[in-house]
Amino acid sequence: MKKQTIELMIATPEGLFRACYSDEGLSGLNFPEGRARRRCAGAPAPRKIRHWHRATASALKAVLAGREPKRLPPLATEGTEFRKSVWEQLRKLRRGETKSYGQIAAAIGRPAAVRAVGGACGANPIPVLVPCHRVVAANGKAGGFSGGMEWKRKLLAREGVRI
């Protein structure tokens, strides 16, 4: 049996998010796309995954509302060692707390890899729950965001962060 990922939707006040699961846990989370894929039919998801999905949905809504999620589903992120170590640092950022790309780089022992850290953030498969939006530029400005600057601003604003 091959490794297949199951795709489930989450309805939020901000739109319809799409979550992807492997049999290890949550492997991806996507911002609402223009086209809302209706996927009511087909094989129902395994109970294990539906359980994770509840946690994901609840956590996502919490962060969107500017609150701290109570619990997270197991995260099944795949990537380079470098990237994983970056994401590990991101998970330590709490609500309203921000760090610069340089600070993250220093935290993983590669103080000069600031630019690469930016790349790692952009490659983050699970935005919002892995708070890549809490990484800002060193000069106090916002920095970039692969999911669209509107999201980054909105998420930070919900947490009371001013830029």
Partner DNA sequence: ATCTTAACTGTGT
Partner DNA sequence: ACACAGTTAAGAT
145 sits near DNA (criterion: CB under 7 A): yes
Q: Does 77 bind DNA (CB under 7 A)?
A: no
> Which residues contact residue 51 at a Cβ distance below 8 angstroms, ignoring those fewer than 6 apart?
none
**Cβ 59 to DNA shortest distance, Å:** 18
82 near DNA (CB under 7 A) = yes
Judged by beta carbon, residue 19 or residue 120, the one nearer DNA is 120
Which residues lie closer than 8 Å to 40 by C-beta, 6 or more apart?
none
Binding range to DNA, per CB under 7 A, among 27-35, 38-46, 57-65, 123-131: 123-131
Nearest to 63 by CA among 99, 91, 104: 91
In degrees and rounded to multiples of 5, residue 150 shows phi and psi of -60, -40
The active-site residue out of 20, 40, 121, 132 is: 132
Asked if residues 46 and 93 have their Cβ atoms less than 8 Å apart, the reply is no
CB nearer DNA, residue 12 or residue 146: 146
Q: Is 110 in the site for DNA (CB under 7 A)?
A: yes
The residue from 25, 28, 118, 125 that contacts DNA (CB under 7 A) is 118
**147 is a site residue for DNA (CB under 7 A):** yes
Which of 40, 112, 160, 162 lies at the binding interface for DNA (CB under 7 A)? 112
Are 32 and 127 spatial neighbours (Cβ–Cβ below 8 Å)? no
Tell me phi and psi for residue 64, to 5 degrees.
Answer: -60, -30
* Binding of DNA by 29 (CB under 7 A): no
Is 132 a catalytic site residue? yes
CA distance 51 to 1: 22
Residue 45 in the binding site for DNA (CB under 7 A): no
d(CA 108, CA 88): 9
**Which residues are known catalytic residues?**
132
